[in-house]
Amino acid sequence: MQTSDPVAALRGVSKRFGSTTALQNLDLDVRRGELLAVLGPNGAGKSTAISILLGLHRADGGAAMVFGRPPHSIDARRQIGVMLQEMSLPPELTVRELVALISSYYPEPLGVDATIRLAGVERIAGRPYGVLSGGQKRQTQFALAVCGAPRLLFLDEPTTHLDESSRELLWERVRELVSSGTAVLLTTHYIEEAEALADRVAVIANGRSVAAGTVEQIRSVAVRQRVECVTTASAEDIRSWPEVQQASLAAGRLSATTCDAVALVERLIAADRGLRNLEVRRATLAEALAQITEEHRT
Amino acid sequence: MRFGRVLCAYLAETKFECLRVLRAPAFVIPILALPIGFYLLLGVAMAGMRAERPGSTNVVIFVSFLIYGVLAPGLLGVSSLLASDRALRIIEYKRALPAPFGSVIIAKLLMAVVLSLAVVVLISVLGATLGHVPLRATQFVAVGLIALASVAPISALGLCLATLVSPSGASPIAGGLLVAMAILAGLFYPLPSVLDALRPIWPTYHVQQLSLAALGVSGDAQWQNVAALVGFTLVFGFVAAKRLGRGH
């Protein structure tokens, strides 16, 4: 379903808060029918970028557009759904009442019952929001994000506090929405969530976009590889080798990261002819992100 | 979006705002009980000692408590609720959503009108039955409607206050302002000449003048009183709307 039409975009966006530069010349695209995961360390500028796309803050420089309109315009907002990372809702209202209230803002909402079914909150629909657990509150917030049948969905740390089964249900629903053409912008600290859901990943560090592409492309950017084996070589020797970046040895099992796996394996074999269970693998997305953001730390 | 759906959004916002308040007894009971309790104590218990004719102290005290009664929901209620919504980031969330412009303000205003209606009815019933307030039904209705209309400038001030001060400071400041608006407008006591000259700066003074004129107690009410109340509503409402809708 993915097309090249951006439904939301930041073009050269800059934003300062006092003397702090939150964003510098940031570009970001979200396209119809794709899930874009925005990743980066704390304080990288992810939340500021999202708040500009939501019309909560205005950019100091550059342009922000949602469906071809300024993000704060009501016509743009009628096409989006929002699940913020830290949000509260009136504790006195029930889940059903909250869905009815938020649905009333949209021109063609899904309907209260359909939304409750879609979000899997049937069992808590009649309970006041204030008595719900953290996970149930997140499920309710997801229901509110999708109740307006949005064409663009902002999900900021959506699975925080969710148990395994609720997380799986939410992932399944997000996949269904994406396959039906909804664009999703996801920010998450759970790298496996991005790996499981994202069509594309944008990495932000120090307010700038430092990498963008598919999960595979991002992983391939990282030159680090992990080498693991059972060896009798000493940890002290291994750590002294120039191609080793990090190494730990526990109960004879070595785990090392390197930028030159071939050279490391050759040296390991030379040092210990009897090494066993040798494994060499590419960087995970988490390792790739760590490397990318480390390289752009200023 | 069709006009009908926009109207539905305003109605839903108002309905659920009222439900929230009705489900929070710790909030709603003091707002209703305080003015009624004070009226029972100072208006009803001492009514027998006063003369019974329009223009008498009973009528003036009744009007004063009617105005004092709508101050609590209009000023304290609205400002504390809005301040709480700001602190909980509910306002920020609704700014990201397609909530119709002003729906949060309109809903809080109408919620205050609903609570004020309860206060007005209760005080009127007490005044007519126990308080020796010798007014005709139409006169009760007239001063009741004036009190309800005054919720607009009073709530606008409450909204404005909640957007200008920190969420934790809104309720105490509103409480102090409530007392000031009652006493310094001369609702309960004659004021020294310096303060008496300043009475027109308080919306409650203009409401009192209109109410007393409607009862024929005072002929002073003029279009200036109406204009002042409309002006208060527009200025405070504009500032509140601007503050609530602003980006950074």
Interface of A with B in 113-142 (CB under 8 A): 128
Q: How far apart are CA A161 and CA A158, in angstroms?
A: 9
Asked if A282 is an interface residue toward chain B (Cβ–Cβ < 8 A), one would say no
Say which DSSP state B239 is in.
H
| pLDDT digit string, tens, across residues A93-150 | 999 999 999 999 999 999 999 999 999 999 999 999 999 999 999 999 999 999 999 9
A246-265 average pLDDT score: 87
Candidate from A6-20, A167-181, A269-283 with smallest mean pLDDT: A269-283
pLDDT at position A298, please? 55
Q: Which of B164, B132, B125, B128 is nearest to B47 (CA)?
A: B132
Instruction: Give the closest of B19, B24, B98 to A106, CB-based.
Output: B98
Instruction: Give the closest of A87, A90, A102 to B89, CB-based.
Output: A87
| pLDDT digit string, tens, across residues A173-213 | 999 999 999 999 999 877 888 888 999 999 888 888 888 88
B119-147 average pLDDT score: 93
Q: Which of A114, A292, A160 is nearest to A215 (CA)?
A: A292
Is the confidence at residue B137, as pLDDT, over 60?
A: yes
A105:B98 CB<8 A = yes
pLDDT at position B202, please? 94
Residue B118 is encoded by which pair of tokens?
A: 């309860």
pLDDT at position B248, please? 36
Percent of chain A clearing pLDDT 70 (strictly above): 96
Is the confidence at residue B15, as pLDDT, over 60?
A: yes
pLDDT at position B54, please? 46
Residue of A196 and A82 predicted with greater confidence: A82
| pLDDT digit string, tens, across residues B177-193 | 999 999 999 888 888 88
Asked if A69 is an interface residue toward chain B (Cβ–Cβ < 8 A), one would say no
Query: Residue A255 in contact with residue A228, Cβ under 8 Å?
Result: yes
Residue of B130 and A3 predicted with greater confidence: B130
Residues in chain A: 298
Query: Residue B203 in contact with residue B229, Cβ under 8 Å?
Result: yes
pLDDT at position B247, please? 44
Task: Name every chain B residue with its beta carbon within 8 A of the beta carbon of A146.
Answer: none
Candidate from A68-77, A212-221, A262-271 with smallest mean pLDDT: A212-221
Residue A119 is encoded by which pair of tokens?
A: 């979000």
Residue A209 is encoded by which pair of tokens?
A: 């976009």
